[in-house]
Amino acid sequence: MPHLHTRRATVDDLPALKTLWLAANLPADELETRLTEFQVVEADGVLAGALGLQFVRQHARLHSEDYTDFSVADAARELFWERIQKLAAHHGVFRVWTQEASPFWPRWGFQPANTEILERLPTEWKNLEGRWLTLELKNEEAITTALQTQFGDLGAPEKLANSRLEKSARQLRLMITILGFGIFFVCAAIAVWLLRHHPLAPR
């Protein structure tokens, strides 16, 4: 078994990748524009295969997998899968999808997606034909519920503070209104007293 090494594809890999894609009847021109999605495996320093990894929000898709030497395919897939899990964790992925037919992926937990699960498939991929396999990395519903609960708890003190602030503001407005009326009546009383005790002299 040659020494295998996985890494992200670079522009220098394009000639070898295009040869690989064309031999596999993959849309080489389209895939070339999505070079940054690809992970490659080298066997003793020579490109031996590639696998596309596309991210859409909290979902990842494995696609366009192919090898120049399928004798190293499963060993390469194990390395790819280690790398994919790290990248998925970095991107906060909940679920991984693929239409690849290799029996390797079901052995690592991928299951056929039923109708209910397919409803979670990102809209960007719904027009792709073929059978979907999927693997849940994180429970999306549990995480969403936990976040809602956490943010709800965090929001309670803020709501209480806002309520107290509004109450204080109402009390302040009431005090200012009462003080304003008080000053008005005092001024009016002073004006009446002055008129009674110091009437204006006739011209």
State which H helix or E strand residue 140 sits in: helix 140-197
Residue 10 domain boundaries: 4-138
Task: Count the domains in the chain.
Answer: 1
Q: Which two tokens stand for residue 28?
A: 């080489």
Residue 196 lies in a domain: no
Q: Could you tell me if residue 24 is inside a domain? A: yes
Residue 54 CB: number of other CB atoms within 10 A? Answer: 18
Domain membership of residue 125 (yes or no) is yes
Q: H or E stretch including 47?
A: strand 46-56
Q: What kind and span of H or E run contains 85? A: helix 73-90
Q: What is the pLDDT of residue 147?
A: 47
List, for the chain, all residue ranges whose pLDDT scores fall below the cut of 70.
Answer: 140-157, 159, 198-203
Say if 131 falls within a structural domain. Answer: yes
Beta bridge partners of 55: 60
- pLDDT given at position 199: 63
Quick check: is 192 in a domain? Answer: no
Q: What is the CATH number of the domain that holds 54?
A: 3.40.630.30
Q: Is residue 172 assigned to a domain? A: no
The Cα–Cα gap between 47 and 34 comes to 18
Q: Which residue has the tokens 């239409």?
A: 99
- Check: CB of residue 2 under 8 Å from CB of residue 43: yes
| Cα distances (Å, whole numbers) of residue 168 to 15, 55, 86, 162, 172 | 71, 49, 51, 10, 6
- In this structure, is residue 93 part of a structural domain? yes
Give a yes or no: residue 55 inside a domain: yes
Rounded CA separation 116/11 (Å): 40
